[in-house]
Amino acid sequence: MDLIKELKDIENEIINWRRELHKRAEVGLNLPQTESYIKSELEKMGIEYKLYENCSGISAVIGKKEGKVLALRADIDALPIEEQNDFDFISKNKAMHACGHDAHGAMLLGVAKVLKQNENSLNGKVKIIFQPGEEYDGGAKVMIDEGVLENPKVDAIFAQHVALLPGLKTGMVVIKDNQVMASSDRVDIKVKGKGGHASTPESCIDPIIMATQVINNIYIMLSREFSALDSTCISIVNVKSEQPDRPAYNIIPNYVEIKASVRCLENKSRDYVNKRIEEIVKNTVEGFKGSYEYNYKYGYPALVNSPNMTSIVKDSAKEVLGDSSVINMPRGVMGSEDASYLLEKVPGAYYGVVVGNLKEEGYYPAHHPKMKIDESGLVKGALVLMQSTINFFNQD
């Protein structure tokens, strides 16, 4: 049994799967074309699968022996971007796989095919998970709520993401222990005053003055109450006052709406930020005789890797790609990823596989309408995922 050789032999299939998924780019939790295509490919492989009621998620269990259960997760949704590439498999439905989720689905299909062909030799079970809704809707949580980590109960998980980075060669693995990506929360604030004529501010309760002070005080709180070494980021992303359809220059509005993004590498910081922002809003606004509405929406939690699981990935990558293939991330990043919901429930490793050098001409970053990947990285990512699976089951 040489699963690595078998996987290398189907490199062209993996590339074709990626291109077919790319053409079918869809956004959100419901991906009918993508779901139909993945189902048909699993059926060709003889893999029985499970569907989910509230999203286009698909899972399947491979392996007949009792033992540990390892999950392998690929997100499969796209972005609402109109593609500007010129190759013959571009998406034409005003959605684009500009974050490489088509590659994730293709790599997992490749691993699934080889695992199924060697099912009797597995010392446990592998649960493959094709998950929609990563970009916006938290599809990981939707699938967790529908039991994706149960029956059989998952013991650990691997999830990989393609990466386009400056100066790194295709196939390199970028990984970090512990805190990897930040949480992502949203804040909606409505500062309410009393509007009136711009010439008589003394008869008004000016929400613009109050909103300005709220914003300043939030930023002061962040710089004075958090250590400079803490990775907590608050950004005011939108400020909008009440305005008639035709802009007026002689009206003080009744209210101002503020929207903010909160990101924390430490999940424990989120409750403190929530509490302090509302205290600041309350004390500031009421001090000016105004009132407010406040809503803090908890989004994706911070993504935290298990050092034991990252160790398996590092060793596996070195086995199949060479000792120089692994890059240890020096610090976490403030972007977010809903695989964090899965890693809250079970130990796991989330890591990047490089599929393009941003210093080379023709490569663009993720979420760009001309984003493309070096497809030679697909089989390399699949090899790392396969070897990590093998080494997980061989671990004592």
**If you average pLDDT over residues 90-95, what whole number do you get?**
91
d(CA 263, CA 231): 8
Catalytic residue selected from 20, 35, 102, 134 = 134
Tokens 């003394």 locate to 202
H/E element holding 87?
none
Query: For the segment 165-207, what is each residue's pLDDT rounded down to a tens digit?
Result: 999 999 999 999 999 999 999 999 999 999 999 999 999 999 9
d(CA 285, CA 292): 7
* Cα first-last separation, the chain: 21
Q: Say yes or no: do domains 3-182+302-394 and 184-300 share a fold.
A: no
pLDDT score of 247: 86
244 pLDDT band, cuts 50/70/90, is: confident
Amino acid making up residue 331: R
pLDDT score of 185: 98
Q: What percentage of the chain has pLDDT greater than the value 70?
A: 99
221: left (phi over 0), alpha (psi -120 to 50) or beta: alpha
Query: For the segment 121-162, what is each residue's pLDDT rounded down to a tens digit?
Result: 999 999 999 999 999 999 999 999 999 999 999 999 999 999
Tokens 């890591």 locate to 351
**Among 263, 211, 264, 269, which residue's Cα sits nearest to residue 238?**
211
Instruction: Evaluate if residue 370 carries a pLDDT over 90.
Output: yes
CATH of region 184-300 = 3.30.70.360
Query: For the segment 32-86, what is each residue's pLDDT rounded down to a tens digit?
Result: 999 999 999 999 999 999 999 999 999 999 999 999 999 999 999 999 999 999 9
pTM: 0.94
Query: For the segment 262-308, what is each residue's pLDDT rounded down to a tens digit?
Result: 999 999 999 999 999 999 999 999 999 999 999 999 999 999 999 99
Domain regions of the chain by residue span: 3-182+302-394, 184-300
Joined tokens for residue 23: 């053409």
**Among 160, 163, 98, which residue's Cα sits nearest to residue 131?**
160
Four-point Cα dihedral 319, 114, 174, 235, nearest 10: -160
* Range scoring the smallest mean pLDDT among 33-37, 110-114, 276-280, 392-396: 392-396
Q: What fold characterizes domain 3-182+302-394?
A: Aminopeptidase (3.40.630)
Question: Does residue 351 contact residue 313 with C-beta atoms inside 8 Å?
Answer: yes
Question: Does residue 167 contact residue 356 with C-beta atoms inside 8 Å?
Answer: no
**If you average pLDDT over residues 78-101, what whole number do you get?**
95
pLDDT score of 243: 86
**If you average pLDDT over residues 207-222, what whole number do you get?**
98
Q: Exposed (0-12), middle (13-18) or buried (19+): which is 295, by Cβ within 10 Å?
A: exposed
Residue partners of 146: CB distance under 8 A and separation at least 6? 52, 53, 54, 55, 57
Instruction: Indicate the average pLDDT of the chain.
Output: 97
Q: What percentage of the chain has pLDDT greater than the value 90?
A: 95
Is 77 labeled as catalytic in the residue annotation? yes
Residue partners of 72: CB distance under 8 A and separation at least 6? 108, 111, 112, 126, 127, 128, 129, 157, 158, 159, 385, 389
- Buried b / exposed e along 196-226 (16+ C-beta atoms within 10 A): beeeeeeebbbbbbbbebbbebbeebbeeeb
Catalytic residue selected from 26, 75, 77, 206 = 77
Annotated binding site for Mn(2+): 99, 101, 135, 161, 367
pLDDT score of 2: 92
Instruction: Evaluate if residue 93 carries a pLDDT over 90.
Output: no
1 pLDDT band, cuts 50/70/90, is: low
Is 245 labeled as catalytic in the residue annotation? no
pLDDT score of 228: 86
Residue partners of 22: CB distance under 8 A and separation at least 6? 89, 90, 91, 97, 102
